[in-house]
Amino acid sequence: MLKETERILAQFGDLETDVSFRNLTTFRVGGVARHVFYPRNLFGLTSAISICRQEAIPFKVLGNGSNILPSDDDFEGLIIKLTRYFIDYYFDDEVLYAQCGCSLIALSYKAMEQSLSGLEFANGIPATLGGALFMNAGAYKCEMSDVVQEVQVLVGDDVIWLNRDQCQFSYRSSIFQRHPEWTIVSCKLKLRKGDHAVIEQLVKNRRDKRCSTQPLDFPSAGSTFRNPEGGFAWKYIDEIGYRGHQVGGAQVSTKHSNFIINTGDASAADIRSLAEEIREKVKKEFNVDLIMEVEKFNWKE
Ligand SMILES: Cc1cc2nc3c(=O)[nH]c(=O)nc-3n(C[C@H](O)[C@H](O)[C@H](O)COP(=O)(O)OP(=O)(O)OC[C@H]3O[C@@H](n4cnc5c(N)ncnc54)[C@H](O)[C@@H]3O)c2cc1C
């Protein structure tokens, strides 16, 4: 990026250089992002995107990086993060208005404090609101689409509102995945007044369940594969005997076999190789195509 471009961007927000993807992803792997930009407001966000388009600078909006496997290569482009300034939220009766850089876990606690039900499932998902909408994140038979009323999206230079149907949500999928050039800005979530003690208990139960079933003491990106139609990815991984299987520093968790964990010194290539080995074995033994839920980013192929 030209020095002049750096200077212009720095007027619209915080610009950081040479940031390791280890600090941008929950897998704690990957090369270096040459530039990371935290726009201060919508004007800064639109300006950054239009500069990238004009100057053919590749860019990617990242949330908490909790569903991303970056390559070990450096990324010679701009990572845009909304986690520093797009973090306002407020409640109006049963509707929660929130900007997409908000932590989903924090919003779940805030809703609980207001005795509002609907986000209990989200309490352990380490996402931003934007990343959770993009993925239609979910757990315990609930998902974001259950509570979304409208989503505000930056499409080109226009900011538009999409209602829930227009977001085309389905299992871990949304229209946003088919439009990577769009940026989710904020949304309205429709919650329901509930009994505070009941909500609190449900949140606690969900958290306890996560702690007992997921390897939360190791870096990971949550579930590696989507559950195939009518089955569970973890069962297939168990059946090929891969629980605990290791490639370099990447390991199939012994606690939850659909989690690949970074045992400390994994490279991104270790994680990818392990995931590909699993896919090949499951295909060969069961003729089932496991699809990665974790998104690969900045890989040459
Ligand atoms: C320990 C652990 C447990 C997990 N448990 C669950 C679970 O129970 N259920 C579940 O569904 N997932 C789970 N996940 C996976 C992950 O948290 C979700 O997929 C989450 O939705 C990703 O959000 P993020 O903010 O980290 O997005 P990122 O990983 O940063 O990005 C994911 C995608 O969203 C896009 N994106 C992010 N923000 C925006 C935006 N504002 N506008 C446009 N695109 C955007 C990015 O470009 C990228 O393509 C878990 C992960 C971990 C590490």
Stated pTM of the model: 0.97
Atom of ligand 1 nearest to the CA of 104: 25
274 CA distance to ligand 1 middle (Å): 21
Question: Atom 34 in ligand 1: which residue has the minimum CA distance?
Answer: 131
Residue 301 is predicted with a pLDDT of 81
In 93-169, DSSP assigns E strands to 95-99, 116-117, 138-139, 142-143, 148-155, 158-163
Residue 2 is predicted with a pLDDT of 85
Residue 135 is predicted with a pLDDT of 98
78 CA distance to ligand 1 middle (Å): 19
Domains of the chain are 3-81 (3.30.43.10), 89-213 (3.30.465.10), 233-297 (3.90.78.10)
Q: Is the CB of 258 under 6 A from ligand 1?
A: no
Atom of ligand 1 nearest to the CA of 86: 41
Q: How many CB atoms lie within 10 A of CB 28?
A: 18
Is the CA virtual torsion 117, 120, 123, 128 positive or negative?
A: negative
Question: How far is residue 133's CA from residue 187's CA, in Å, rounded to a whole number?
Answer: 9
Task: Describe the chain by its helix, strand, coil percentages, rounded to 5.
Answer: 35, 30, 35
Question: How far is residue 115's CA from residue 254's CA, in Å, rounded to a whole number?
Answer: 37
Query: Residue 70: helix, strand or coil by DSSP?
Result: strand
Q: What is the DSSP string of 217-272?
A: TS---SBSBPPPTTS-HHHHHHHTT-TT-EETTEEE-SS-TTBEEE-SS--HHHHH
Q: How many CB atoms lie within 10 A of CB 269?
A: 16
For every one of its 301 residues, what pLDDT tens digit does the chain have, with 9 covering 90 and above? 889 999 999 999 999 999 999 999 999 999 999 999 999 999 999 999 999 999 999 999 999 999 999 999 999 999 999 999 999 999 999 999 999 999 999 999 999 999 999 999 999 999 999 999 999 999 999 999 999 999 999 999 999 999 999 999 999 999 999 999 999 999 999 999 999 999 999 999 999 999 999 999 999 999 999 999 999 999 999 999 999 999 999 999 999 999 999 999 999 999 999 999 999 999 999 999 999 999 999 999 8
| One-letter amino acid of 226 | R
Q: Is the CB of 184 under 6 A from ligand 1?
A: yes
Q: How many CB atoms lie within 10 A of CB 281?
A: 18
